Amino acid sequence: MSEETITIKKAFPNFSNELIQEIEANSSYQYFKAGDVIMRTGQYIKNTILILKGQLKIYREGEDGEEFLMYYLQPGQACAISLICSTKNQTSQITAKVVEDVEAISIPLALMDKWMMNHRTWYEFVIYTYRTRFEEVLEVIDNIAFRAMDERLEFYLKRHAKACGCKEINLSHQEIALELNTSREVISRLLKKMEQRGLVNLHRNQIELLM
């Protein structure tokens, strides 16, 4: 078993051996550094990527540069939106930015329909990807529609911590404000209240979660 096969099998343990062979025969490995933007709004999508290592942030951009976080991509996951675009010649409606150095496999979208019919494990993976991303976006919408800003901030921090598997969040107050579409002053004030309640410890450009 080659090193590439082992890497894919580790990240995607449910893929059949036949599917992994097709992936190896038709894909290319790509590496991205933290901060790289690998997909932009308006860009035509020709490939989907499977994440082997690292983390991607998928978000929408507003006209004034504000960001709306949709979800994070971890090892063993793919971007649902790029999979959807395989059915039509569509442009991206999202931006994908590297949070932690990423190792990924790039697969031509032209193969998606064929694999959906020929590989049960790919079909199940795509359906699972659609469902989990849809549920995650619904959770974000509910959070925006029905929660006050302090609750939204707490939800945001917990979600970020879950995504990175850590308790230390290396973000500035301004970066958080941008993603929550509010001001830095509001975020700083709410974080200070959370610190007083014993929910976080505040450091320079870092928030330590205690909850």
Element (H, E) at 30: strand 28-32
Write down the architecture of domain 148-209 according to CATH: Orthogonal Bundle (1.10)
Confidence band for 191, pLDDT divided at 50, 70 and 90:
very high
| Nearest by Cα to 98 from 40, 143, 11 | 40
At 70, the amino acid letter reads: M
| pLDDT per position as a tens digit, 17-34 | 999 999 999 999 999 999
- What are the strands, taking DSSP E only, across 34-174? 37-39, 47-61, 67-73, 95-108, 168-169
Percent of the chain topping pLDDT 90: 46
Q: Where in the chain is the domain with CATH 1.10.10.10?
A: 148-209
Residues across the chain: 211
Q: Where in the chain is the domain with CATH 2.60.120.10?
A: 3-144
Confidence band for 14, pLDDT divided at 50, 70 and 90:
very high
Q: Report d(CA 58, CA 73) in Å as an integer.
A: 7
pTM across the whole model: 0.74
Between residues 34 and 138, the one the model is more confident about: 34
CATH top class, domain 3-144? mainly beta
CB 78 within 8 A of CB 50: yes
CB 134 within 8 A of CB 126: no
CB 29 within 8 A of CB 77: no
CB 83 within 8 A of CB 126: yes
| pLDDT per position as a tens digit, 50-109 | 999 999 988 888 777 677 788 889 999 998 877 766 555 677 788 899 999 999 999 988
User: What are the residues facing 67 on neighbouring strands?
Assistant: 61
In the numeric block, which tokens belong to residue 90?
């569509």
